[in-house]
Structure formats: C-alpha cells, structure tokens
Amino acid sequence: MSCCKKDVAAVMQQAFDMHKDNKDGANASYIPFLASVPSDLCGLAFVSVTGEVIKIQDVDYKYAIESISKIMTLGLALEQSGADAVHSKIGADPTGLPFNSVMALELHDDKPLTPLVNAGAMATVSLIEAEDKEQRWQKILAFQSALAAADIELSEDVNQSEQTTNAHNRAMALLLESSNRIYSDPLEACDVYTRQCSTLFNTVELATVGATFANGGKNPVSGKQLVSPENAAHILAEMMMEGLYDTSGDWAYDVGLPGKSGVGGGLLTIIPNVGALAAFSPRLDQFGNSVRGQLMIKHVAQTMGWNLFNSKQH
C-alpha cells in the first residue's frame, strides 16, 4: 500500500468536512468526567512510518485514552513475557460479548479470551514485571510515553472519576483471582488498569502510537525500537479481532484494518507499513465507539484503498 501525503491530506479534509457536524451518539455518561467533555470537539490526524504528520481541527485537545491503553500495556507484556506466555494465559479470541462481560469469563472457566476486554486487560497488567504496584504503574506510564514520543501524564480528575465507579472491574479482578487467572494482587491490578485508562493523549500522540505499530514496533518520531516486529504483528491481530468491541467484525468487513477505540472518544486505525489514522470525537454509538471517528476513518481508508484484504491495492 502506498501513501502520498498530498492525497492523504486532501482525503482527510474531505472526510472531516463530510462528518464534522454529525450529531449522532452521545458522550459516555457512566464515567462523570467523560460526560463533561464538549461533545462537538472533533479531530483527525495521520502519522506515517517515516514521521510525516497531517493534522485537522481539534488534534491538540487532550482526552482520556481509556481502552486504547490496552494495546500499549499488551505491547509491554509481550516484550517482557513473550508471546507464548501471554497467549497461553490470556488468549487471543473475541468473546462475542460486551467488553465488561462477566458471562464471557463464566463460559470459559474464568479465563479471559483476549487482552482487549476488561478482564483480559487487568490480567495483562498483572503480568507486567515489577516489585510492587507503583513500579508496575510507572513502567506502564513510561511505555505509553515512549510509544507516543511525548510526556504522557495521568489525569487525577479522570482517575478519581473512574476509581469511584469501577466496582464491576474490581469484582471481575476477584473472579480472576478465584481461578488463578491473574498474576498479581487482583485489586492492585484493577487499580493500575484504571490508572492506565486515565492518561491523557492528543490525537497526534495517539497516531504516533499507531505509527509505531505500523512500523514494526519502531517509533518513527524517536527512532526507538519499542516492540519487536513479531510482537507488533500480534498486537495488530488482536486489534483486528476485538478492537471495536461488539462491532469489530463489522469494522474488519467494511474497513479491513486493525483498529482500537476508547470510550473517551479516541479511535486508532493502523495501516501496516504506511502509518496510522487517529480520530477524536466524544459522541459514541451504543457499543462505545466514536461515531464521527468511525465515519471519518472509514472514508479515508476506503478512498485510499487501505484494506488488508483487498488484492488490488492503490
């Protein structure tokens, strides 16, 4: 797949203009901080594997990364523990159920099926090698910063808002402990998982994370090899299967690219060996995916011919 910066910029502007006024969906309301984000914000960014950047509209606005953090911690766990260990302990299969489903655990002997649902994400956090909870958190935060090529910070407001509303996640962490499917203190793992979801990214930083995975794990801004090419491929596979919650299959069918959404309004899509598109708009559909983000990225990807399953690439 090829990429001409001029063409990409023109198509991105077209996608933005087509969908920026869409009023469908609503902010996530179950986390008070997310409900307060201005719902008309909208941004679109592209970062190539050679470090070129294209920015449209509200790309500097910092928002909670939420579930997109799962792919970053997964990258760190893969590098520390190896792909075989992560695969055997957490799995790599879609659940067919919501991202916070307890039933998905019950149906599979309390084993999480993927690192991209909440139970699997907490198990992934628990795999991070550290002497204690705070060291584990600092390693995850440092890895987020390295992937973004920026100083990523925790939002105390988002974290407080989430820590006081995460009883369901705490219950799942204890359920994982009951079946020996979590590998540190369960409530500490839940606490760190909640923190990793509460960091703030802008859309260019998010696209830089994606461009790193598109580039075989080498950050195109810093030049640092952060993830092995083999592990970057594993991350993209997980994103393709489970990255957009219940509509991951629809995304693969329509767009044909690995993606990951977050209820903060972020959406990341990766074009291997080309770069990454990131969108931000806090209005979500019923499954937790950014409405405008999906429409904008879908238009760009389809217009550019960026579909991994298309044999006639542009």
Q: Which residues are annotated as a binding site for substrate?
A: 67, 118, 162, 169, 193, 245, 263
Residue with tokens 């998982």: 193
CA–CA separation, 307 vs 255, rounded Å? 6
Residue with tokens 């307890």: 102
What's the token pair of residue 237? 């596979």
Q: How far apart are the first and last CA of the chain?
A: 6
The CA–CA distances, whole Å, from 57 to 20, 85, 221 equal 10, 42, 21
Q: H-helix or E-strand containing 13?
A: helix 5-19
Residue with tokens 């979801």: 197
What's the token pair of residue 14? 């077209």
CA–CA separation, 150 vs 248, rounded Å? 29
User: In terms of C-beta density within 10 A (0-12 exposed, 13-18 middle, 19 or more buried), how is residue 206 classed?
Assistant: buried
CA–CA separation, 111 vs 123, rounded Å? 10
φ/ψ of residue 182, rounded to 5: -135, 145
Amino acid at 142: A
The annotated binding site is made up of 67, 118, 162, 169, 193, 245, 263
Q: Is 45 helix (H, G, I), strand (E, B) or coil?
A: strand
Amino acid at 144: Q
CA–CA separation, 120 vs 207, rounded Å? 24
Helix pair angle (186-196, 118-127), 10° resolution? 110
CA neighbor of 311 nearest in space, from 232, 248, 256, 259: 256
